[in-house]
Amino acid sequence: MTKEAKIALYTKMARIRHFEQRCIRIYQQGKIGGFLHLYVGQEAVAAGTISLLGKNDHLITGYRDHGHGLMVGMGMNECMAELTGKVTGCSQGKGGSMHYFAPDKNYWGGHGIVGGQAPLGTGLAYAVKYQGLKGSCLTFMGDGAVNQGAVHEAYNLASLWDLPVIFVVENNGYSMGTSQERSTAHPGCLAKRAEGYNMAWDVINGHDVYEVRAKTALALKRAHEESKPTVLEIFTYRYFGHSMADPDKTYRDKEEIKTYRDKKDPVLLFEQELLREKVLTPELSQTINDAAMAEADKAAIFADESPDPTLADITKHIYWEEDNRGPKTTSRGTIIFE
Amino acid sequence: MAVISYREALRAAMRDELNRDKNVVIMGEEVAQFNGAYKVTEGLLKEFGPKRIVDTPISEAGFIGLGIGASMLGIRPVMELMFWSFSYVAFDQIVNNAGNIRYMSGGLINCPIVIRGPANGGTNVGATHSHTPEAILASHPGIKVVCPATPYDAKGLLKAAIRDNDPVYVMENTILYNDKGEVPDEDYIVPIGVADVKRVGTDLTIVAHGRAVITSLKAAEILEKDHGVSVEVVDLRSIRPLDEETILKSVRKTHRALLVEENKPFCGVDAQVAYLIQSKAFDELDAPVHRVSSIDAPQIYCKRMEDLQMPSVERVVAEALKVLA
């Protein structure tokens, strides 16, 4: 990686961190409804993997989707406005926190049902292969998703049909408020389940963005050159509850969180590494973090000042054919009912 | 115009669209090498090869979800469900993913997928294989549902479905697969959301869809011959979108309506149609709207009883006479 690329990567991680921390304040002000699943602590996973993607590489994830969105280049404004349900949001206030999308940047969401995106990601990889392109689909999920049937069906199809999909299990240790030991048979290694499907797998230290990049690059090579799938299990940790609705008091102790924050924080560790490498200076780091904070502040104001969708907007974007009625559409009749 | 079966009409629709658009892919359990569990896809593997005609494992949530993902990136998958009853293990994919993706992305993503297969009772296979989920699925905005009753409509609706940019679920009927009818060789579509008056009459409107149309047409003949009643039969063809105007126009003419469907009665398609008629044609009615549907129980296995559980010609005639009384 060039010096510039390293600084850019650190900048992106810092932006995710500050965006998420700004979200907490807005949530506490009561401006974000529904669920808010924060990515704080997991930044190196999205940053390390997504920073490797090329023009025919796609990605899709579950509901903890803000970090991935910012990594592909979504703006903080559209992301923040989506959280507050504004028409200027990336999904025009129709998706919310769990449903970010940027298909123009190969980002296919943002999916609310645990594991439900695994077959979709496999299908995106199928489409890439069908079209004869050298690409892939990074299909992210949490450790809780590995017990969903849809994930296993996707594993089987991906391997059976040699699809260029990389299943990335972001293992933060807890499926909602249930620890891995209490939810998963053979909890030591979730990636190893790939063996049952004759798939390659690897485990990665998700606190080290260099390691994430190095091992993901091997999986991407396998996808691009052999059209074969991989399961990557990336060990990581989230500092906040499953969502902001989770008081986080029953299933882990504060000491555990503190240990991760103090000793394994991926943003801090990367900053220290770049200082050691003399890529960063303390001043430059301060500038980067100040800019990210200011950007998040501006996004909060943008979200505040943006208008809501209208009553008429409720019934838009349900059907392509309804939004584009004309001589060429194949539908007639009543499709949206009173 | 050739006379072909409902099964051949569906196959012709797929062949036409496979030739027309290289992004069309046929996928499902035993659709290729085995030639289709009900032989709807027979010969397509030989004609189009394994890239276009794809056998899947028994893994509905997996392969339907895969088709949805592929459709987001421009593939136009036509997925066969061996039975629509099997859709229940893929419900999250069919409803949450296919039905919501356009909405939740604020219109950024389309999902032009077709899922087709038989959705009917009456074949002596018990409750798990006899579901008719058109009402369940049509109750989700974002999804389209069509139920062809004739070979002509089967071909035209399936072609329209494949060209449509939204998810369209085509519910066929194994009992109709051998039914024959006139089908044009040339290219045509039946627009989704347009009902068809299958028989013109003046005294009573019967609204039906799927095989209930065939049952209703037979009942209409008996009502004419034995009772001197002129019955109009409106075939919905499409459940969502719904052709409200054709239903209302017929009711305004006959002033009496009988609704026939093979679903169970509670929250069936005809519950919505009955609401529509009372809401928009209340003053036109000379009698309450009546319904004939399957007896409200899981589908019984015993063939003799199953035939009685479902709407029969006799039951339709008897209920029609009540509306006319």
DSSP state, residue A113 = S
**Whole-number pLDDT of residue A296:** 98
- Mean pLDDT within B227-236: 98
Q: Which residues of B touch A91 (CB under 8 A)?
A: 104-106, 108
Binned at pLDDT 50, 70 and 90, residue B94 comes out as very high
Q: Which of A91, A317, A332 sits opposite B193 (nearest CB)?
A: A332
- Closest residue, chain A, to B146 (C-alpha): A331
Q: Considering only CB atoms, which chain B residues are within 8 Å of A101?
A: 104-106, 108-109
Which residue's entry shows tokens 């509850």?
A241
Q: In terms of domains, do B290 and B313 share one?
A: yes
Q: Report, as an integer, the average pLDDT of B17-34.
A: 98
Q: Which residues of B touch A334 (CB under 8 A)?
A: 193, 241-244
Kindly state the average pLDDT of the residues B293-321.
98
Question: Could you tell me if residue B189 is inside a domain?
Answer: no
Kindly state whether residues B133 and B241 are assigned to the same domain: no
Name the domain count of chain B.
2
Number of domains making up chain A? 1
End-to-end CA gap in chain A: 58
The residue range of the domain holding B318 is: 196-324
Q: What is the pLDDT of residues A196-255, one digit of tens each?
A: 999 999 999 999 999 999 999 999 999 999 999 999 999 999 999 999 888 888 999 999
| Average pLDDT in chain B | 98
Contact A123 B68 (CB under 8 A): yes
Residue A325 has pLDDT above 90, yes or no: no
Residue A320 in any domain: the answer is no
Nearest alpha carbon to residue A56 among A105, A95, A123, A92: A105
Residue A52 is inside which H or E element, if any?
none
Chain-wide mean pLDDT for chain A?
A: 96
Residue B174 and residue B251 in one domain: no
Same-domain status, B125 and B60: yes
Residue B1 has pLDDT above 90, yes or no: no
Is B191 domain-assigned?
no
| Residue range A107-116: mean pLDDT, rounded | 97
pLDDT digits (tens, 9 = 90+) for B124-166: 999 999 999 999 999 999 999 999 999 999 999 999 999 999 9
- Does residue A187 register a pLDDT over 90? no
Q: Which of B183, B212, B245 is the last residue of a domain?
A: B183
Same domain, B31 and B155: yes
Query: What is the distance between the alpha carbons of residues B211 and B232, in angstroms, rounded to a whole number?
Result: 16
Q: Which amino acid is at A181?
A: E
Enumerate residues 6+ apart whose C-beta is below 8 A from B98.
B68, B111, B113, B142, B143, B167
Between CA B59 and CA B68, with CA B62 as vertex, the angle to 5 degrees is: 130
Q: What is the CATH number of the domain that holds B166?
A: 3.40.50.970
The pLDDT > 90 percentage for chain A reads: 92
For A260-279, what is the mean pLDDT?
A: 97
Tell me the pLDDT tens digit for each residue of B271-295.
999 999 999 999 999 999 999 999 9
pLDDT band at A156 (very low <50, low <70, confident <90, very high): very high
Distance CA(A119)–CA(B62), nearest Å, equals 5
B161-207 confidence digits (pLDDT tens): 999 999 999 999 999 999 999 999 999 999 999 999 999 999 999 99
With residue A243 as reference, give the H or E element that holds it: none
A228/B293 Cα distance (integer angstroms): 50
Specify whether B9 is located in the same domain as B121. Answer: yes
- For residue A101, being part of any structural domain is answered with yes
- Is the same domain home to B148 and B261? no
Give the domain CATH number at A257.
Answer: 3.40.50.970
Last residue of a domain, one of B155, B183, B211: B183
pLDDT at A338: 86
Confidence of residue A327 (pLDDT cuts 50, 70, 90): confident
B171 and B215 belong to one structural domain: no
Q: What is the Cα–Cα distance from A27 to A33, expressed in whole angstroms?
A: 7
Q: Looking at residue A252, what DSSP letter applies?
A: S
- Please give the Cα distance from A6 to A285 (Å, whole number): 12
3-state secondary structure of B298: coil
- Residue in B with minimal Cα distance to A86: B106
